[in-house]
Structures are given as C-alpha cells and as structure tokens.
C-alpha cells in the first residue's frame, strides 16, 4: 500500500470518528446514552454472525466485506449502532468519485426484535450528513431507496429531490448539505 493511501485512510479515520461522535451527541434525549454509534470492526462483525442465522433476515449480504471497504475506498464511511451489547444496525457508503456528494449506499438493521427499529434509518442519515459536511461534500445521496412511500415522504418533507436512474446509474434521493 502506498504511503499516500495510508495517509488518506488515517486522515479520514479522524473524520469518521468525529462524525460518529457528533451524531451520537446530537441524538434526541430518549436515545442519548441509550444507543452508541461506532464503526464496523471485529466486534461488529462478530455480532453480525448472529444475524446471518435469523430466518427473518431479508438479504444475504455478508458484512465481512466491510472490513476491506474502507481500505479500498479510504474516504468511505462505515457505521454501526449498538444498544448495550446488541448490535442494532450497520451501514456503509462512500463519496462520489469527485467527492462532491456523499452516498448512503446500504443500511441493514437487526432483522428481529430491534428496539428503536424505526429510528435506525434516521440515525444513519444524520451521521452520513455530518460526515459529508466534515469531508466537504455538498450533497447527501440516499442510493436506491426502494420504498415508494419513503421516497414520497422524503421528497415532500425532508428536503430531498428524486433523481431517476440513467446511463446505468441507480436512482437516488439527494439533498443539499
């Protein structure tokens, strides 16, 4: 690995840690001190193994991939949410090639009995916006928000615009930071 690549990872590690710290400090009163925000490391990947055997799980995505993700994409953002010793959600995203927009690519939460299930997306959204701000991105994208109801809600209430898929690029919601 080149020295410049290592330096970039280190620089963005600082921003990743700051974004998680600010997001956690910004949580509303009923979540502050209850949920903890972290990255994705050995601890999260060990906890994720419990998700893999849950029949309620809707995807077959292997989060072990994330261990390499921030090395391949040193400006990427990885995040987990914990409640005590329970892993509640995992998410990954990266800036666009030119770094002008931050992408939230994928979130998965505990497939069953997830307390605060409805707030996991909002927590991730907040943290990704903060990270986007810290790295100088101008916009935040939610890539492929599959659910039409959510698209409608966030375009009418959340300040997002819908961008349809084109030239092989998937559709997304985008908001100015």
Partner 1 sequence: MTEQDRYQQVKKKAEERAKELFKPLPKEIEEELESESTLGNPENLVRPDNQEE
Binding site for partner 1 (CB under 8 A): 18, 22-23, 25-28, 31, 56-59, 61, 65, 69, 92, 94, 96-98, 100-101, 103-111, 114, 117-122, 125-126, 129-130, 133-134, 142-147, 149-150, 153, 167, 169-170
* Least Cβ distance, residue 12 to partner 1 (angstroms): 13
For partner 1, which is the closer residue by CB, 41 or 96? 96
> What is d(CA 102, CA 132) in angstroms, rounded to the nearest whole number?
5
Structure tokens at 33: 């001190």
Compare residues 9 and 73 and give the one whose CB is closer to partner 1: 73
Q: H or E segment at 6? A: helix 3-26
3-state helix, strand, coil in the chain (%, to 5): 40, 25, 35
Minimum CB distance to partner 1 smaller for 46 or for 163: 163
Minimum Å gap between C-beta 54 and partner 1 is: 10
- Distance from C-alpha of 56 to C-alpha of 153, rounded to nearest angstrom: 26
Taking CA atoms, 45 is separated from 7, 32, 90, 126, 173, in Å, by 25, 24, 10, 23, 29
CB closer to partner 1, 1 vs 59: 59
What distance in Å separates the CA atoms of residue 25 and residue 19, rounded to the nearest whole number? 10
CB of 154 to partner 1, least distance (A): 9
Distance of closest approach, residue 100 Cβ to partner 1, in angstroms = 7
Identify which of 60, 67, 118 has the alpha carbon closest to the alpha carbon of residue 92: 67
The CB-of-92 to partner 1 minimum distance in angstroms stands at 6
Question: In this complex, which beta carbon is closest to partner 1, that of residue 9 or of residue 150?
Answer: 150
């Amino acid at each position: 690995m080149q020295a410049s690549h290592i330096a970039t990872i280190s620089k963005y590690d600082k921003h990743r840690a700051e974004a998680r710290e600010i997001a956690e400090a910004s949580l509303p009163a009923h979540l502050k001190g209850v949920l903890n925000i972290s990255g994705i490391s050995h601890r999260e990947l060990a906890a994720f193994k419990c998700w893999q055997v849950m029949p309620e799980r809707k995807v077959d995505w292997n989060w072990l991939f994330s261990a390499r993700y921030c090395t391949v994409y040193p400006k990427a953002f990885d995040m987990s949410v914990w409640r005590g010793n329970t892993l509640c959600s995992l998410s990954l995203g990266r800036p666009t090639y030119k770094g002008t927009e931050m992408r939230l690519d994928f979130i998965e939460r505990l497939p069953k009995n997830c307390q605060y299930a409805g707030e996991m997306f909002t927590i991730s959204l907040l943290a990704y916006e903060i990270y986007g701000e810290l790295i100088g991105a101008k916009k935040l994208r939610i890539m492929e928000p599959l659910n039409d109801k959510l698209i409608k809600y966030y375009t009418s209430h959340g300040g997002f615009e819908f961008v349809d898929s084109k030239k092989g690029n998937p559709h997304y919601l985008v908001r100015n930071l």
